[in-house]
Amino acid sequence: MQNFLLIFVSSLLILSSPKFELPHTDRTRGLMEELLVKLDSTDVYAAKKEKEIEALKNCFPGETVDDEIELYYDISMAFSNSVADSALVYMEKAILYAQEYGRDSLKVQAQIALATLLSEYGYYIEAQETLSPVPVEKLSGGERVRYYHSVALLYRNLYSDYNIPASFKQKYRKQFNVYRDSLMMVSDTMSLHYLRSIERKEARKGNISEARRYNDLRMSIIEDKHSAAYATCLYDRFAIVYLYEGKLTGEALDDLLQSAIVEVENSNQDIASLLRVESLLNSINEVEAAKKISDYYFSSLRKLGSKKRVVDGVEQTIKINDRNTQLIQKANRELMFAIALISLLLVAVVFALWINNRSRLRIISIKNKLELSDRISKKYIGVAFQLYSSYIKRLDLFRTKINSSIRKGHIEQVLEFTSPSGETASDERRELFHNFDSAFMEIFPNYIEEVNACLKPEQKIVPKRTEILSNELRVLALIKLGIEDSAEIAGMLHCSVKTVQNLRSILKTRLALSEEDFKRKISEI
């Protein structure tokens, strides 16, 4: 019988504590930790970015008019992934300056760049209006490449925008295909534009190996492994596997994490890879890390000020929330199954007591108590299971912090974590009281009203807004649960015996009926 119980409990623990894990390599954990550490240093990267932009501004005035136009252009591009408004302002200055001094080629270059920025930020009408006066037939080879790239990007953003009606999406996709093909015809076959376009084209057709080959070629010609172009290439490498091949590998996840790291280092406020990382972390219930990434992602979007990215981010968040709802529902089903197993375990315990000739009276007493209130029994089981599970999680987290601090040699942090008077101990006590109060009030929802009905009208107990039960109500709750001894109550509430005795004395003075009647009513709640 003991062996049966041991097997039963082991099965229960296995079934009720599922372990989720993403595919990974030997590098994955280190890359994830590096990304989270980088997010703590974003102010440093932002300051570096501002310093680079300030250096460009200090180059004014340029030696020639062309130099000044190009400076406006360069400053705009430096702002393009960090502050949308500033990027647009400086590119418009480049256009006006070029127009004022008759630099038609530089004006067209800036117009195309401005249209590209407007399209990326979700200002599609403005982007079309900016491109419409461009004399396409007079464009040189390089200008034509930039023009086709800008128009193709506009149509791609249009058909991928959540707010565009479905009836228009097919039309915009066809227009995108036309301009993408035009771009490929006029582009250098070894340019990043050409390679990325043909890579995506092959991926959409399902030619994964070809798409990967073109991505490898892109990666080989990018010299700066800390550039935005390299980050984009890594993200596209991940997308080939995850979005087009429909699977996730450890190598693809490493590419995604590397992309996010490079983007954070560049103080890029438009990081699509972070949203993917957040989504994957949420899928395995890594809530704390996912929240840290989500907080940075949405704060960066606000700083960028891109209308399109904010909308896309909101839509993606809705999808993540929907998936989290499904995970919660699944967890609830698993919890109900665990409760059923616990109920079976209780039956098995009763059966074991009967097999071992335990007292018939005790068996009947246990059975009567279990049958006394099916609602309370189930809630006790659920609450106990939840609190115990929560304790294990918090203990694991505490152990991880201690282990990490010891490994890093942070002995002061270890002493602070383990100090009985430290914040950790205080947080644990607050968590204990909060969990006890919540569980008790769930089982006895009318408890406070019933207690106040026994008190003088002017002596009613009203808990503070920040608490569920006051100290007096908590003492009474323990007495109702059968704990009468003041010393035992003091130990459970982490206070002195004198404090408990004073609380009990104060309660007696508030009663509107005799002490005996009060005890009887409390027991009947």
Distance CA 243, CA 502 (A): 66
Distance CA 171, CA 174 (A): 5
Distance CA 32, CA 280 (A): 12
Distance CA 352, CA 1 (A): 7
Nearest CA among 520, 483, 384 for reference residue 442: 384
pLDDT digits (tens, 9 = 90+) for 358-389: 655 665 655 555 554 555 555 555 555 565 56
Which residues are 511's β-sheet partners? 455
Please report the pLDDT score of residue 276 as a whole number.
84
Distance CA 515, CA 494 (A): 26
Q: Which of the listed CATH numbers 1.10.275.10, 1.10.357.140, 3.40.50.720, 1.25.40.10 matches domain 59-187?
A: 1.25.40.10
Average pLDDT over residues 303-324: 62
Q: Which of 119-133, 197-211, 423-437 has the lowest mean pLDDT?
A: 423-437
Sign of CA dihedral 228, 234, 240, 242: negative
Distance CA 65, CA 101 (A): 8
Residue 122 φ/ψ region, left for φ over 0, alpha for ψ in the -120 to 50 degree band, beta for the rest: left
Token representation of residue 181: 């093909």
Sign of CA dihedral 399, 405, 410, 416: negative
Average pLDDT over residues 219-248: 93
Output the furthest CA–CA distance in the chain (Å, rounded).
105
**Residue 356 in 3-state DSSP?**
coil
Average pLDDT over residues 10-31: 66
More confident residue, 522 or 352: 522
Contact 279, 57 (CB under 8 A): no
pLDDT digits (tens, 9 = 90+) for 272-310: 788 788 888 877 777 778 888 878 877 887 788 776 666
Please report the pLDDT score of residue 302 as a whole number.
78
- Which residues 6+ apart lie within 8 Å of 488 measured at CB? none
User: Is residue 61 reached through a cis peptide bond, with omega within 30 degrees of 0 on the bond before it?
Assistant: yes
Please report the pLDDT score of residue 34 as a whole number.
93
Token representation of residue 445: 């929802």
Contact 23, 250 (CB under 8 A): yes
State the pLDDT confidence band at 106, using cuts at 50, 70 and 90.
very high
State the pLDDT confidence band at 105, using cuts at 50, 70 and 90.
very high
Please report the pLDDT score of residue 417 as a whole number.
61
Best-predicted range by mean pLDDT (22-36, 163-177, 282-296)? 22-36
CB-side neighbour CA atoms (13 Å) of 134: 28
Whole-angstrom Cα Rg for the chain: 33
Token representation of residue 81: 């992934």
Please report the pLDDT score of residue 308 as a whole number.
64
Distance CA 102, CA 114 (A): 18
Contact 82, 267 (CB under 8 A): yes
More confident residue, 420 or 409: 409
State the pLDDT confidence band at 141, using cuts at 50, 70 and 90.
confident
State the pLDDT confidence band at 12, using cuts at 50, 70 and 90.
very low
Class of the CATH domain delimited by 444-525: mainly alpha
Contact 186, 148 (CB under 8 A): yes
CA angle 363, 365, 368 (to 5 degrees): 110
- Which residues 6+ apart lie within 8 Å of 248 measured at CB? 22, 23, 241, 242, 280
Best-predicted range by mean pLDDT (11-15, 59-63, 126-130, 163-167)? 126-130
**Residue 511 in 3-state DSSP?**
strand
Please report the pLDDT score of residue 280 as a whole number.
85
Please report the pLDDT score of residue 4 as a whole number.
44
Please report the pLDDT score of residue 91 as a whole number.
95
More confident residue, 494 or 85: 85
Please report the pLDDT score of residue 64 as a whole number.
92
Please report the pLDDT score of residue 117 as a whole number.
93
Distance CA 306, CA 122 (A): 7
In this predicted structure, the answer to whether residue 336 has a pLDDT above a threshold of 60 is yes
Q: What are the two backbone dihedrals, phi and then psi, of residue 451, each rounded to the nearest 5 degrees?
A: -65, -50
Distance CA 306, CA 109 (A): 22
Please report the pLDDT score of residue 424 as a whole number.
57
pLDDT digits (tens, 9 = 90+) for 440-467: 888 888 888 988 888 888 888 888 888 8
Q: At what angle do helices 104-120 and 141-160 cross, to 10 degrees?
A: 20
The mean predicted confidence, pLDDT, of the chain is 81
Please report the pLDDT score of residue 321 as a whole number.
57
Token representation of residue 424: 């950790």
Distance CA 524, CA 497 (A): 26
Domain boundaries along the sequence of the chain: 59-187, 444-525
Please report the pLDDT score of residue 70 as a whole number.
94
Q: Which of 4-13, 14-23, 31-40, 481-490 has the lowest mean pLDDT?
A: 4-13
